[in-house]
Amino acid sequence: MKKEIEVQVYGAEIICASCVNLPSSKETRDWLEAALGRKFPGQRFSVSYVDIENPPEDEEKRAFALRVVEEDMFYPVVRIESEIVGEGNPKLKTIVAEMEKYGYRQLPE
Q: Which of 101, 90, 108 is nearest to 47 (CA)?
A: 90
| pLDDT on residue 1 | 45
Whether 50 shows a pLDDT value over 80: the answer reads yes
pTM of this structure: 0.90
Percent pLDDT > 90 in the chain is 72
Q: Where residue 109 falls among pLDDT bands split at 50, 70, 90?
A: low
| pLDDT on residue 88 | 87
pLDDT digits (tens, 9 = 90+) for 78-101: 999 989 999 988 999 999 999 999
**CA–CA separation, 7 vs 75, rounded Å?**
14
Contact 7, 69 (CB under 8 A): no
**Phi and psi torsions of 52, nearest 5°:** -70, -20
C-alpha torsion sign, points 32, 36, 42, 46: negative
